[in-house]
Every structure is written in structure tokens, then in C-alpha cells.
Amino acid sequence: MKNKGDHFLKEVTNHIKSKEARNFVTTELTFHLKKAKGFWQEKGLSDDTAEEKAVEQMGSPVKLGQELNRLHKPKVDWMLIALLAAAMGLGFLPIITLDYTEAFLVQKIIIVLFGVVAAVGIMLFDYRKIERFGWVFYILGSFLLLTLRYFPTTMIHGQSYIAFGIITIESLMALPFFFLAWASFLNNPKVRIWQMVLLFIFSFYLFFSIPNLSIALIYTVMVFVMLWWSQFSKKKVMLMTAVPFVLTASGGVPFFLAADAYQMHRLMGYLSPEKYADAAGFMYLRLEEIFSSAGWFGTTGGFEFIPYAHTDYVFASMTFYYGYAFAFILVLILSLFAIRMIMISRHMNSSFGKLLLTGSMTLFIVQFVYNIAMMLGLLPLTSISLPFISYGLMPTLFNAFLIGIVLSVYRRKSLVSGSFA
């Protein structure tokens, strides 16, 4: 395509504003022009004549360029961005309500700005460029967990952390690396079943050894939801699900027997809070009291001490001060995130993009559901934040990363090979 074909492509792409769309359209039109040229060559036409016929079949380059520019214009999901703005805005409410110092408010503004920059930056990045780097992400995630395991700078309640000034890194920050790795693995037919089983067992062991059981739970749910949404046959999915499940279940008994005293105490506090009312069961009873006294529009007159009121227990504190009506609005906004992600995934043709959407949706929903469930006493209390509402830099960046991935996939949903066919 060195003559009329190249001139035609140049005229078409001159009307396409997006660089990504230009490259995509050039690749697709080049393929179709070569295919059409080959057809006319088989009819006995010369190379130049066949190329001319192929170009004629495409129609007006101006009209085609304008139509393709409209069709492949980068998309922005304004609904998801509006939900992000609303959630981050509500995240200021605990700081204001609890009358924290001005320094907390300034830090919260900085955290939100970092989150916005992260979400927008990832949205603008082409997610398709990372599809082949699954092993790199897996190694990075494993390295982070090994560093937390053997070289932590601080230990809190038996969990490892690495602190750099105001930045505290925990095992949660390994999840994005493993999330991207599994999206790549599950979309790569060259990765064998036995390899995936070993990769999961090794990574699960690393999460388990920190130890941070809540993050290990989130990771496990993410991997298997992505697995069931992948293009593997049901037989292979069942096999890949069964082997790790059996191994994990068989290892659960030794872990239970070897659990530390404080771990057993916390478990007993969840199962029988009244019996351990002066110790591990105290917070379950306290939370029950907080929710029972909240009312539809909250309480007035006086400050009530609630531990971790601006972080892990923020849903309980905000419900107490603003009532069930506010709690319903908060749950509705966070639920709309999940609903929107599901709606986007239903119209996604890219298998890699769909896996990224599935993983993002799973990581977000598990955090959201678990945090509220543990506040209501339905699940054991652990360190899982409420997305965008809980205070903290790393949780905010983590969830901004997830939303950024969704926005990146949505932005390029029309740039899928074969869309002209």
C-alpha cells in the first residue's frame, strides 16, 4: 500500500483526533485494504488496478474518517466519575463531624488529590500495553510480600508494615500487582493449569504468612471470580478451583491448632461476644449498641467515643451521627459503583479488558460488603476499609487504582481488533 492505499489512509486518519484511534484505524484499514486488493488480484487484475479497486470500495475518505472519528472517540464514563467525586466528597464528612484538627483535614485533601491524580492518570494510560507483563507483576507482588514478611519496619497486632514517613505500606498494596498478573495469566493460553495452581498456592502462602487473613480472603475471592469469568472451559475451571481449595482446606486444621492466643481470642469474641464482653467481644457489643441507638436521622447533642471512627469503623460512626437514612445513601452510592462496573463489563468485547473489569469489581465489592457486614456483626472484625470513605492514603490510592482501571477499559472499549469485520 505505497501509493493510492497510503494516500487513502492518510486522508482518513487526518480526520481522527485521537492518536490511539488513529493507530487502531490504520491497522484495521490496512488489513482490509490488503484483503480487498488480494481479492481483485485473484480476479486477474494488476497490482495497481487491484489497489485502486480496493480503495474505491472503501468509499469517501472524508466521510469514512469523520465516521470513524465519531465511532472511536475516547469515551469517558461520567457516571463513574460523578460517583467517584461523590464518594470522595463524603470521605471528608468523618473528619469534619469528629472535629479533628486542621492537620487531618489538610492531609485528607492531599490524599484525595493523590487519589484523583491516580484515577485520571490510569484512565489515560492504555491498559492493553500491560497485557504481556503478567510475570513481571507477579514477581513485583511476591517481592513486596517477601519484604513485608522478612524486612518489616513495624509490627501491629501481628501484621507487618513498611513505613516511610506518613506512608505505610501493607500487604493490601500487593493486590494490584497480583490483580494485573492474573488478568494476564487467565488471558494467556500458554500458561498451563498446573502453573496457575502453583502460582496461586505460592502467592496465597505469602499473604497467609504476613499474616493478614482479610487480605488473603480478598485475594482468593478475586482470583477465583476472575477464573470463573475467564475463557477457560468449565472442566478446567473446576479443576483449577478444586486443587487449591482442597490444599487450603487441609491446611486450615493445622493453622487453627497452631493459631496464636490472640487470634483464637478474637475468633471466640466474634462467635460469643457476650461471653467475652470484657475483651474480644466488647467491640461487637459496642457496635450493636451504636447501631441500635442511631435512629433514622442520627443522634444529637453530645460526642460519643467510637474507636477507629474515621478509618475501619467509619460506617458505624457516620450511621450513629447521621442515622439510617444517611447510611442508606452511602450504601446506595457504593452499590452504584458495583452496578456500573457490571454494566460496563456486559458490553466489553476484549477478553483482557473484561478480566480487568471483573477483578476491579470483585476487589471493590468484597471490601465494601465485608466492611459493612463486620460493622453489623455478620463477619469477624478485621482491618478492611470502606472504599473512599475511610481515612488513609494507601486504601484511597488502591481504590482509585481500581476505578482508574475501569475508566481506562471503558475509554478504549471501541478499540477492539476486528470491530470492522
Cα 333 to chain centroid distance, Å, stands at: 17
Q: How many other β-carbons are positioned within 10 Å of the β-carbon of residue 361?
A: 24
Residue 156 has pLDDT above 80, yes or no: no
279/367 Cα distance (integer angstroms): 26
pTM equals 0.83
Residue 189's φ and ψ, nearest 5 degrees, are -65, -15
286/273 Cα distance (integer angstroms): 10
How, if at all, do strands 154-156 and 159-164 pair?
Answer: antiparallel
Residue 296 has pLDDT above 80, yes or no: yes
Per residue in 26-64, pLDDT (tens digit) is 777 787 778 877 777 777 787 778 778 777 777 787 777
Quote the mean pLDDT of the chain.
82
Q: What is the DSSP letter of 16?
A: -
The beta-carbon contacts of 369-374 under 8 Å, at least 24 apart in sequence, are 370/214, 370/217, 370/218, 371/312, 371/315, 372/315, 372/331
| Whole-number percent of the chain with pLDDT over 70 | 86
Residue 101 cell numbers, joined: 484538627
Q: What number is the average pLDDT over the span 393-412?
A: 93
Which of 23-37, 188-202, 240-254, 352-366 has the highest mean predicted lDDT (pLDDT)? 352-366
9/1 Cα distance (integer angstroms): 9
pLDDT at res. 421: 34
- Edge-first strand order for the sheet with 159-164 is 154-156, 159-164, 167-169
Residue 114 cell numbers, joined: 493523590
Cβ atoms 227, 186 nearer than 8 A: yes
Per residue in 67-109, pLDDT (tens digit) is 777 777 778 899 999 999 999 999 999 988 887 878 888 999 9
Q: What number is the average pLDDT over the span 161-184?
A: 85
Collapse the DSSP code of 368 into the 3-class scheme (helix H, G, I; strand E, B; otherwise coil) and give the result.
helix
**Which helix (H) or strand (E) covers residue 154, if one does?**
strand 154-156
421/418 Cα distance (integer angstroms): 5
